[in-house]
């Protein structure tokens, strides 16, 4: 079943903002949407034809979703392996469950990178406190200690700067399953590339995005990235190599560190990604439309950048200040995800500025009090 015609129903596992933006694109193309999410009135549920409210590891919820849909996709990688395998066996899940399983686990991701000859920063798996001490001996400080599973937006990780901090770090994270210690890289830049591969094996990449994080959370994305053409080439080909080696279907976001002339893979996400939101307003085809094209068997669209762009996230603390003072800023495309509670650091929306003069734009954004916490 390679072609899912408009009018059919796409099932989305996960009802967050990524599912919402996928659903909005799919609806433009004439599809119906059903979503599985544990919370009622989820960002995706609000714009879908049907929401099944059940936990991701509740098989009966997945069964109800499956019975409603012609094709299934996911908007986040923490669907349990059992659920994904069950769905892959009983339903049409063109993305498969393998990539899901790899990207749920930082160690598996790094082992996969090694298999494909893709550089990652030096790391060690950590299972015990003495293992942590040995890893620190080997890698030196500063280093970053991360949970292998379940982390996002900088959650589940600690920066270790001094050997006196090891014990408290172990107390905080040691009970959260296997850990990984990574050398802390004083990188020049973080970039990402979003690659899409269709059920027919056609592949596209979006322009390399330059990402700035604050406290482990993406703050803004600048495209074109301010990198040399040599780095651009390396980042693009790293993402293509991953997608081809994995023979994946769907969308893969590849986060990378740039250090001098070296490009390292940081982590991957098997879905559209926050750093690809700029594509909605600035590219010929958005990452969400491209994802739907890939899993439904359409030819892929052009990923051409139509204008230089800066995408800035609106976290809980930014929404009210932005809405109050947006007229002082250059006009932007505003995207809000419909979340009710504007909690601190919660991703509530984003704004996208298009400009032929991105440096001037960045100065205006920097001068605005909206994002100065």
Stretches 32-40, 130-138, 178-186, 332-340: which one binds ligand ADP (CB under 6 A)?
178-186
Choose which of 95, 104, 148, 266 interacts with ligand ADP (CB under 6 A).
266
Kindly determine how many residues on this chain lie close enough to bind Mg ion according to the rule CB under 5 A. 1
Region of residue 321 (phi > 0: left; psi between -120 and 50: alpha; otherwise: beta): alpha
In angstroms, give the least distance from the CB of 3 to Mg ion: 34
Quick one: which segment of 51-59, 75-83, 184-192, 279-287 binds ligand ADP (CB under 6 A)?
A: 184-192
Q: How far is the CB of 185 from ligand ADP (least distance, A)?
A: 4
For Mg ion, the closer of residues 182 and 255 by Cβ is: 255
Residue whose CB is less far from Mg ion, 210 or 255 = 255
Residue among 109 and 255 whose Cβ is closer to Mg ion: 255
For ligand ADP, the closer CB: 35 or 191: 191
178 binds ligand ADP per the rule CB under 6 A: no
Binder among 75, 210, 267, 289 for ligand ADP (CB under 6 A): 267
How many residues does this entry show for the chain?
373
Near ligand ADP in 92-151, by CB under 6 A: 121, 144, 151
Contact with ligand ADP (CB under 6 A): which of 145, 255, 273, 277? 255
Shortest separation between residue 341's beta carbon and Mg ion, angstroms? 24
Cα radius of gyration rounded to whole Å, the chain: 20
Neighbours of 351 (CB within 10 A): 25
Report the C-alpha gap between 48 and 180 in whole angstroms: 38
User: How far is C-alpha 293 from the geometric centre of its chain's CA atoms?
Assistant: 18
Backbone angles phi, psi at 261, to 5 degrees: -95, 10
Q: Residues annotated as binding site for ATP?
A: 106, 146, 151-157, 182-185, 190, 213, 266-267
**Residues in contact with Mg ion, shown as a per-residue x/- string from 246 to 265 under the rule CB under 5 A:** ---------x----------
- Residue 182 is a binding residue for ligand ADP (CB under 6 A): yes
The least CB distance from residue 29 to Mg ion, in Å, is: 29
For the bound state, the minimum distance from the C-beta of residue 302 to Mg ion, rounded and expressed in Å, comes to 27
184 contacts which partner out of Mg ion, ligand ADP, none, CB within 5 to 8 A by kind? ligand ADP
Q: Is 297 in the site for ligand ADP (CB under 6 A)?
A: no
Query: At its nearest, how many Å lie between ligand ADP and the CB of residue 222?
Result: 15
Nearest-approach distance from CB 193 to ligand ADP, in angstroms: 14
In the Cβ-directed half-sphere of 107, how many Cα atoms lie within 13 Å? 13
**Please, which of residues 146-175 interact with ligand ADP by CB under 6 A?**
151-154
Q: Which residues of 6-21 are buried (b: 16+ CB within 10 A; e: fewer)?
A: eeebbbbbbbbbbbbb
CA distances from 93 to 64, 216, 253 (A): 15, 31, 19
Q: Which of 183/293 has CB closer to Mg ion?
A: 183
User: What's the min distance (Å) between Cβ of 255 and ligand ADP?
Assistant: 5
Known binding positions: 106, 146, 151-157, 182-185, 190, 213, 266-267
User: Rule CB under 6 A: which of 202-241 touch ligand ADP?
Assistant: 213, 216
Nearby residues of 185 by Cβ (< 8 Å), 6 or more positions away:
121, 257, 259, 264
List beta partners, residue 333. 352
- Closest by CA position to 35, among listed 53, 21, 17: 53
Binding site for Mg ion (CB under 5 A): 255
Binding site for ligand ADP (CB under 6 A): 121, 144, 151-154, 182, 184-185, 190, 213, 216, 255, 266-267
């Amino acid at each position: 079943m390679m072609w899912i015609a408009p009018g059919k129903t796409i099932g989305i596992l996960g009802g967050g903002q990524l599912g919402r933006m996928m659903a909005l694109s799919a609806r433009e193309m004439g599809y119906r949407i059903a979503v599985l999410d544990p919370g009622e009135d989820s960002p995706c549920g609000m714009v879908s034809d049907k929401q099944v409210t059940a936990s991701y590891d509740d098989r009966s919820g997945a069964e109800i979703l499956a019975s409603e849909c012609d094709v299934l996709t996911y908007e986040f990688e923490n669907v349990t392996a059992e659920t994904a395998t069950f769905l892959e066996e009983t339903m049409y899940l063109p993305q498969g469950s393998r990539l899901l399983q790899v990207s749920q686990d930082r160690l598996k991701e790094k082992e996969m990178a090694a298999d494909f000859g893709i550089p990652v920063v030096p790391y060690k798996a950590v299972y015990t406190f003495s293992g942590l001490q040995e890893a620190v001996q080997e890698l030196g400080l500063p280093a970053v200690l991360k949970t292998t599973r379940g982390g996002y937006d900088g959650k589940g990780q600690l920066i270790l700067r001094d050997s006196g901090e090891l014990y408290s770090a172990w107390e905080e994270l040691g009970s959260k399953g296997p850990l990984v210690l990574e050398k802390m890289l004083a990188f020049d830049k973080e970039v990402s590339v979003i690659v899409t591969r269709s059920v027919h094996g056609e592949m596209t990449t979006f322009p390399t995005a330059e990402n700035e994080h604050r406290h482990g959370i993406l703050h803004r994305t600048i495209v074109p990235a301010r990198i040399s053409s040599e780095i651009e080439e390396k980042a693009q080909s790293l993402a293509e190599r991953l997608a081809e080696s994995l023979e994946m279907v769907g969308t893969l976001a590849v986060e990378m560190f740039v250090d001098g002339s070296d490009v390292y893979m940081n982590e991957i996400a098997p879905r559209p990604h926050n750093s690809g939101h700029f594509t909605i307003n600035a590219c010929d085809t958005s990452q969400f439309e491209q994802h739907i094209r890939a899993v439904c068997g359409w030819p892929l669209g052009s990923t051409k950048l139509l204008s230089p762009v800066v995408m800035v996230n609106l976290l809980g603390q930014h929404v009210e200040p932005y809405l109050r003072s947006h007229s002082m800023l250059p006009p932007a495309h505003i995207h809000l995800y419909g979340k009710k509670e504007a909690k601190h650091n919660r991703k509530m929306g984003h704004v996208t500025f298009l400009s032929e003069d991105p440096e001037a734009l960045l100065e205006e954004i920097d001068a605005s009090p909206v994002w100065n916490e």
